[in-house]
Amino acid sequence: MHLVKKLIKMAAMADILKHPEDIYPLLKLKMVLRNAEKQIPNQPHWYFCYKMLQKVARGFFITIQQLDTELRNSILIFYLVLRALDTVEDDTSLPSDTRVPIFKAFYQHIYDPEWKFSCGTGDCKVLMDQFYLVKTGLLELKTSHQEVIKDVTKRMGAGMAKFICKEVETIDDLNEYVHYVAGLVVIGLSKLFRASGLEDLTPDPIASSVGLLLQNANIIRDYLEDINEIPKPRMFWPTHIWINYVDKLEDLKYEENSVKALHCLNEMVTNALVHLENCLKGLSSFRDPAIFRFYATPQVMAIGTLALCYNNIEVYRGAPKLRPGLIAQVLHQTRTMSDVYGAFFEFTSVMKAKVGKNDPNASLTLSRLEAIQKICRDSGLMNNRKFYIVRSDQGFCNSALGVIISIALCTIFAYILAIN
């Protein structure tokens, strides 16, 4: 319920008027969340874990609900263990010589009932302070699932320790870092799916590509938040890219560098596009419908985020986000490979429309976008469903009747929210 209220609060009335097609998916999302709330176990440790997930990863809280209980609990604990490890990395107020030993030994700490380390802020600090409840849940999982979580935690911690004192200078550095913090997560998920007997193991390079796509989208979108991090900026954009445009990475946020900043941003997005083909390969191999939806939804949102960020100066003014109604549509409509091909095709079309003739990477960007669109077309599975990430100025809501109907729908929508 809290997620829907927050989504609606974020969505201005003008946004809903422009996109009345968002209303039904938002209402469906409300119902999904009501059912998810009812499924939260009463045991104190499980109740804490599910409520904590709802706070630190609301979208993830929704997508895991469709999985069976055993797998859902394992993925829940998997995520929270790694979220705790990530909280140590995110807390830049901690000196490196404090964090490095924790990174390297974190996989052992998850079994130590006495170990405790307070860091982070807000909900993540609460997670760290009450991490013993996550450990309790971990010990109730199948041994094979615990081993996957332990192994990924060990490898991720080692990668974080490596990059705590190492700059991301090249694209290879970026790919290696993102493999540690995101690619390993997807590799771990694949191993959990296999351990549950529901799916075959996804090859590591393909699984890692999924993580690289998701994390690249986050790194691009979160430029301003990372560069303004106190006491020390977090810099994940490779030096070998931004040095072609400015002298210092933080210079991209200044208005006088807007043209160079857009070209740099577009090169970052173009670099991320190389992971799309492997994502489609990985998705096409799944058999279990629930796992497919769990796996596919974040990838559709990632390419949607890339489409939103491409050639968008707002990346340097704040973190642009997909509108709440569009997220609800993705959650509601991503069910089959047909949906995925349709979404990938549409979002790549959005990017193609924004490629400027004077952009130094225009030809490479178009080549990569057209390659993905060819895969989507050649599949023979593409549907005509639209996510409406952008709308024509001559669309439905610009007619007088459209405005009247939209206002009526919004009024009904507000009433339904109020009585529930």
Dihedral-angle region of residue 83 (phi above 0 means left; psi in -120 to 50 means alpha; beta otherwise) = alpha
Select which of 58, 155, 234, 391 is catalytic: 234
Clarify whether 345 is annotated catalytic: no
Q: Which of 107, 180, 193, 221 is catalytic?
A: 221
Q: Which of 193, 294, 345, 396 is catalytic?
A: 294
Would you call the peptide bond into 231 cis, given omega within 30 degrees of 0 as the criterion?
Answer: yes
Annotation marks residue 317 as catalytic? no
Tokens of 148: 């996957």
Contact 186, 211 (CB under 8 A): yes
Task: Quote the CA–CA distance of 135 and 139 in Å, as a whole number.
Answer: 6
Q: Which residues contact 255 (CB under 8 A, 6 or more apart)?
A: none
Tokens matching residue 366:
């178009």
Please pick, among 177, 180, 295, 344, the residue that the annotation labels catalytic.
177
d(CA 230, CA 249): 16
Query: Is 335 known to be catalytic?
Result: no
Helix and strand tally (H, E) in the chain?
A: 22, 0
Instruction: Decide if 341 is catalytic.
Output: no
Catalytic residues: 177, 221, 234, 294
